[in-house]
Amino acid sequence: MATCATCRTTILFGGVSQDGLRFCNAKCAANGAVVRLAATIPPDVVTREAAAIRSGACPRCKGAGPVDVRRSHRAFSAIFVTWRQSRQLLACRSCGVRAQLLDSAITLIFGWWGFPWGIIYTPIQLGRNIAGMLRGDDMMMTSPELERMVRLQMASQAAATRR
């Protein structure tokens, strides 16, 4: 299975290929220039910027870090339709756990009501949130997700100044 070069979602069918990269849709393919530009940014510059963000204040609560990319997952069902969503947020651990608890509550209340996917996705999304809440922070290193986010942000800013 392929992974989108922009948003990192799994591509089961279709997608768009461009310059040797694979994208899930035309919107992500339009951002392909930013992805290619991001690959040219030196790793030491990205690591330095990611470390500064990690040691800074949480953008959500303004509290002390470490700040990192947190993931939160939810499922919502209505009879024959089920939606599942995974979000990435830049936050401290407590803000990340708060988002995971909220999404877990939404999933517990509204996730089960779809057949057959609600019954399948609800425990998966709950398990992903529980695993995220139990996972500790590596206090010494920035995560690859944070470095990727910083790299794409820097490339996006560089592309905007070139226009």
Give the pLDDT confidence score for residue 130 in this predicted structure: 96
Give the SS3 label for residue 76.
strand
Rounded to whole angstroms, the Cα distance separating 47 from 63 reads 22
* Dihedral sign (CA 93, 95, 99, 101): positive
Question: Each residue's pLDDT tens digit in the chain (163 positions)?
Answer: 788 888 878 888 888 888 888 888 888 888 888 888 888 999 999 999 999 999 999 999 999 879 999 999 999 999 889 999 999 999 999 999 999 999 999 999 999 999 889 999 999 999 999 999 998 776 677 889 999 999 999 998 888 887 6
pLDDT of the residue at 139: 65
Closest CA to 97 of 142, 62, 125, 136: 136
What residue has token string 């030491």? 44
Residue type at position 26: A
What pLDDT, on a 0 to 100 scale, did the predictor assign at position 28? 85
Q: Residue 63: its pLDDT value, please? A: 92
Query: Model's pTM, two decimal places?
Result: 0.79
Q: What's the pLDDT at 10?
A: 83
